[in-house]
Amino acid sequence: MQLALRPLLSVTQPDWIAATGVTGSSGSGVHPSTTTHHPDRAQDFRAYRAFRHQHAPEILQGLSDVGGGQVALGFVPHSGPFVRGIFVSLQTRVSTAEAASLPDVFARYCAEHPFLRLVEGSPRIQHLVGTNACDISVTVDGGQVVVMAALDNLIKGMSGQAVQNMNIALGYEETAGLNAC
């Protein structure tokens, strides 16, 4: 969510953002249960912890660091019938003029970050599994805005992001060791 919303929040501060996120079974923690174990999830789709997800506070903190203010976030996470990946759809409303500038804002932002890719239409998890990329799309209609993003939670969401952060911290090329994935 933070990767998808940073470009938006760099130019406008919406009053609210509605977020729907879907995660695969590998993002469900280490303790198997009927709600997290993949064989039980394989033919199922469900929401959980609506407005009370454990990561909401850190998401809000990251967003306020970018936008300089507090954003009202309505986050409803879902369990999807796949193993790896996270997909998020974010909706808000801004002025028509602000919305019209967003495709260019997102294009510039993604061009400056080696693992962010701006895509047409919907991002696809199957195109990201095994990579450190995050695919993002933005669609505007008047003042309505939809931003979608997808990534591999085991690479970009965990190990790949850790290597990328280490590279930056140690002064290495940001992409070192990550282009193969």
The CATH number that domain 2-152 falls under is 3.30.360.10
Q: Which is nearest to 26 in space by CA: 77, 80, 76?
A: 80
User: 9-18, 29-38, 154-163: which range is least confident on average?
Assistant: 29-38
| Helix-helix angle 56-67:2-9, to 10 degrees | 20
**pLDDT 10s digits, 76-135:** 888 888 889 999 999 999 999 999 999 999 999 999 999 999 999 999 999 999 999 999
Say what the pLDDT of residue 30 is: 65
What is the model's pLDDT at position 10?
86
Residue spans of the domains in the chain: they are: 2-152
Rounded to the nearest angstrom, the gap between the alpha carbon of residue 133 and the centroid of all alpha carbons in its chain is 11
Residue 49: pLDDT over 90:
no
